[in-house]
């Protein structure tokens, strides 16, 4: 069990957190009653209304920031700078949105949004993250092969231009943004915020499917809707099994890193 106030791991049954003094008795009663959102010893204080508002805020910000990056590119900033600045900007909006709406009826902690140690062992959590990554990459490759004979370009994953990656040693900035910052902030939003907020109404399975659909739709291109939906399901299952957002972040970062390496070395 983790304290929802300060994320302290509690190995003994206590009425109050020894570190921050949070009342844990009422939380334990919710857990015993099987109330949604109390899994893992953490109460989620936001639900569907806050999730919808969060999606609206992030969606609007995404469109505005995407338009801004297009303007930057036309002004000569380049695709790499557009991707770097855009990813950081939308990530900051995500963190601000989660913080603002996660304060609803309670105090937000890192543990509440999933940034805590796995309830499984770390070796098992890393193994599951690797398995999810392998299945996701394998399915994406098979999907592309299956769609190619149809001759419908719209159903194929889009080709990402090499110019989206910085040249030389500056490539580190691209990996930092797209294989570090982006997976972290997206997992905080889609798995740490959206999915738990849907559990009360839809249950764990419904929330996992719903968050995966939303995650897929946010990527816009029809050619990636199906592969990213499956990836979203895998990441949601990984979060549910391990009780921690870190394994999904690792798997997500791994997939983005593989995609960047394919862009760099695949021509």
pLDDT digits (tens, 9 = 90+) for 141-152: 999 999 988 888
> Which residues pair with residue 16 across a beta bridge?
23
The pTM of the full predicted model, rounded to 2 decimals, is 0.85
Mean pLDDT for the chain? 86
pLDDT in tens, 175-206: 999 999 999 999 999 999 999 999 878 888 99
For residues 94, 129, 37 and 220, what is the CA-based torsion angle, rounded to 10 degrees?
40
Give the pLDDT confidence score for residue 33 in this predicted structure.
Answer: 44
Residue 37's pLDDT is what? 45
Q: Which residue has the higher pLDDT, 156 or 56?
A: 56
Q: At residue 87, does pLDDT exceed 90?
A: yes
The residue assigned the tokens 């949004």 is 113
For residue 43, pLDDT over 90 is answered with no
Give the pLDDT confidence of 211-225 residue by residue, as tens digits.
999 999 998 889 999
Contact 137, 236 (CB under 8 A): no
% of the chain with per-residue pLDDT over 90: 62
């Amino acid at each position: 069990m983790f304290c929802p106030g300060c994320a302290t791991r509690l190995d003994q049954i206590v009425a109050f957190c020894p570190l921050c003094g949070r009342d844990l008795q009422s939380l334990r009663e919710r857990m015993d009653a099987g109330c949604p959102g109390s899994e893992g010893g953490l109460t989620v204080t936001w639900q569907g209304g806050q999730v919808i508002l969060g999606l609206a805020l992030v969606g609007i910000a995404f469109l505005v920031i995407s338009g801004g990056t297009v303007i930057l590119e036309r002004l000569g900033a380049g695709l790499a700078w557009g991707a770097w600045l855009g990813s950081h900007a939308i990530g900051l909006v995500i963190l601000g949105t989660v913080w603002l709406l996660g304060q609803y009826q309670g105090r937000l902690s890192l543990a509440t949004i999933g940034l805590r140690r796995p309830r499984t062992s770390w070796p098992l959590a890393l193994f599951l993250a690797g398995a999810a990554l392998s299945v996701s990459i394998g399915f994406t490759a098979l999907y592309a092969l299956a769609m190619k004979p149809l001759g419908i370009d719209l159903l194929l994953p889009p080709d990402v231009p090499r110019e989206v990656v910085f040249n030389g040693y500056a490539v580190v900035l691209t990996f930092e943004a797209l294989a570090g910052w982006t997976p972290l902030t997206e997992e905080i939003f889609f798995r740490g915020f959206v999915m738990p907020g849907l559990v009360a109404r839809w249950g764990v399975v419904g929330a996992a499917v719903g968050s995966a659909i939303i995650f897929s739709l946010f990527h816009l291109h029809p050619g990636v809707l199906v592969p990213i939906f499956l990836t979203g399901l895998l990441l949601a299952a990984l979060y549910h099994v391990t009780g921690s957002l870190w394994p999904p972040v690792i798997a997500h970062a791994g997939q983005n890193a593989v995609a960047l390496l394919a862009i760099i070395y695949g021509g």
